Amino acid sequence: MFRRHGTYDKETRENMKGGPGAVTLEHLFKKEEFGGGHFRVCAKLILPPGSGIGLHPHCDEDEVYIVLKGIGTVTDAGVTSTVLPGDTVLTGKGDSHCLTNNGSETLEVIAIVVTY
């Protein structure tokens, strides 16, 4: 399946998972488009400066973040780190994480959630 950039279904979530500001999700592929797999989310997250995703756990699933653009801060399993383009984060097995754009430009991240 091919999908052209700019044609993705979008939604904006205010205070996502209790985080500040608004986060836009561009759904690259929806759950029902996968052939019976265990995918729950496959989206690009767009976080303007000052916005973020609040601390939340991942039980019975894993989430991968792939940082495309911008600078932010991630707290994963209690450890806080700066994230830069090209960095990746894996959270699951009951651990919690949050993501904040504390930079001056938009933070863009691919998010993939797989259930088990």
pLDDT, one tens digit per residue, over 46-96 is: 999 999 999 999 999 999 999 999 999 999 999 999 999 999 999 999 999
Please give the residue that has the higher pLDDT: either 116 or 111: 111
**pTM (two decimals):** 0.93
Res 37 pLDDT > 90: no
What tokens does 15 get? Answer: 């205070």
Supply the range of the domain harboring residue 44. Answer: 9-115
Give the per-residue pLDDT at 25.
Answer: 98
In degrees and rounded to multiples of 5, residue 21 shows phi and psi of: 70, -155
Per the CB < 8 A criterion, the answer to whether 86 and 34 are in contact is: no
Residue 40's identity, in one-letter code, is: R
The reply to whether 49 falls in a domain is: yes
Residue-level pLDDT at 114: 94
Instruction: Give mean pLDDT, residues 28-39.
Output: 87
How many domains are there within the chain? Answer: 1
pLDDT surpasses 90 at 34: no
CATH classification of the domain holding 50: 2.60.120.10
Task: Tell whether 43 is covered by a domain.
Answer: yes
25 in a structural domain: yes
- The one-letter amino acid code at 67 reads V
Does some domain include residue 84? yes
In a domain, 3, yes or no: no
Assess if residue 4 is contained within a domain. Answer: no
**Buried (b) or exposed (e) across 13-25, using 16+ Cβ within 10 A?**
eeebbebbbebbb
Q: Which residue has the higher pLDDT, 37 or 41?
A: 41
